[in-house]
Chains A and B, each alone.
Chain A
Amino acid sequence: PAQRQRPRVLLKAPTLAELEEMNLSEARREP
């Protein structure tokens, strides 16, 4: 069987704090 390769592209993730901040600014933008 062919050797499985590791997934190649690392998906950058926001931290929990950044996610929280994003949600807050989104909530602020909403009327």
Chain B
Amino acid sequence: RPVNIPRKEKDFQGMLEYKKEEEPKLVKNLILVEYVFKLKPRGVAVNLIPGLPAYILFMCVRHADYLNDDQKVRSLLTSTINGIKKVLKKRGDDFETVSFWLSNTCRFLHCLKQYSGEEGFMKHNTPRQNDHCLTNFDLAEYRQVLSDLSIQIYQQLVRVLENILQPMIVSVMLEHETIQGVSGVKPPGLRKRTSSIADEGTYTLDSIIRQLNTFHSVMCQHGMDPELIKQVVKQMFYIIGAVTLNNLLLRKDMCSWSKGMQIRYNVSQLEEWLRDKNLMNSGAKETLEPLIQAAQLLQVKKKTDEDAEAICSMCNALTTAQIVKVLNLYTPVNEFEERVTVSFIRTIQMRLRDRKDSPQLLMDAKHIFPVTFPFNPSSLALETIQIPASLGLGFISRV
């Protein structure tokens, strides 16, 4: 065993050396592990640098580049990509695992750019970081592969969070009544639906807020790029809005003045969550606009020509089919409310006939917004990075 002589950090060049035959072990211990246990031994969170696996991999790439060993670089990059794909195949339904590898794949991609030697990516580098740029190889094609892989992982993350949120949405956003007494009277002749996944009361607004908090804190702990977190949150809000609106459009018992009130309250709580997390500029709130307008439509007066005009200018995020459907389903729950007359609905249809909107009634709840990974260089100095013993990488050495 080599004697471990302490060295000053400035002596290190931010590279990691390993033998070619140790590559499978490196990939196994760094990628194909259950990070949940590695990062949190005995339930205690260890303060590891977010993106540490990505930095370690990049420092290994740097050493292979320094050796001018193209086979070693190629082999490591291929094994890395295959390893990440393997983990995601095995644990692809686990939010923490997918978030962890999305964060690390993006960080690895940013490292390949930041240290590529291309001027456009070096603007924020320190002189020392510029010294750490790759010297022999241009890895632009591998950057493209990692970007494609990041898109795949992002889509997988969206499916995972969708599976978790889906059973909660209708219960929380439509069925559960947070505002007590608003709809004390049930519409006559309407039976309570029993086909919902969760019984009424199983999930509350608090459940979904707690779930959003969990998603957000996991992504932050993994050091996911803030711009990427915004895109995930926007996608989550889109799913919540689309699933809620689609159910409202299919359920007569959800189309009442008081449900409009309840939905607006729920939406305000989601907005409050965005404000609290400083995510108001994520575009998430805007994805709720069709739902907000549907809730308003349930609450406004629906009688005169002036009402029809107001509705047409207010509901610009709803299609004509959706507006007409809500008006048709609208059910008064007490003597102060009235059914919407057929002639009022005709007036609305006449006013909207020139609109070139889609005939679609339901929103595409499976739609995924295109994702981007804006370059986010790191100020971390590679030469200061130390590898915790818990990672089991004692066979690689700092150079």
Contacts and interface: CB of A to CB of B under 8 A. Distances in A.
Given A15-B148, A16-B149, A7 B142 contact: no
Contacts of A23: 82
A28 interface: no
B67 interface: no
B382 to A, nearest CB: 16
Contacts of A29: none
A12 B74 CA distance: 9
Given A15-B145, A19-B78, A7 B138 contact: yes
Contacts of B65: 7
Contacts of B138: 6-11
Contacts of A13: 74, 77, 139, 141-142, 144-145
B148 A10 contact: no
Chain A interface size range: 10 to 19
A14 interface: yes
Contacts of B116: 7
B81 interface: yes
B140 A10 contact: yes
B117 interface: yes
Interface string B107-128: 0000000001110000000000
Contacts of A10: 137-138, 140-141
B152 A16 contact: yes
A9 B137 contact: yes
B134 interface: yes
Interface string A1-31: 0001111111111111001100100000000
B79 to A, nearest CB: 10
Interface in B81-98: 81-82, 85
Given A6-B118, A8-B138, A13-B141, A19 B81 contact: yes
A9 B73 CA distance: 12
Interface string B49-86: 00000000000000001000010011001100110010
A19 B152 CA distance: 14
Interface of A: 4-16, 19-20, 23
Given A7-B65, A11-B74, A13-B142, 12 more contacts: A6-B118, A7-B133, A8-B137, A9-B137, A11-B137, A11-B138, A11-B139, A15-B148, A16-B152, A19-B85, A19-B145, A23-B82
Interface of B: 65, 70, 73-74, 77-78, 81-82, 85, 116-118, 130, 133-142, 144-145, 148-149, 152
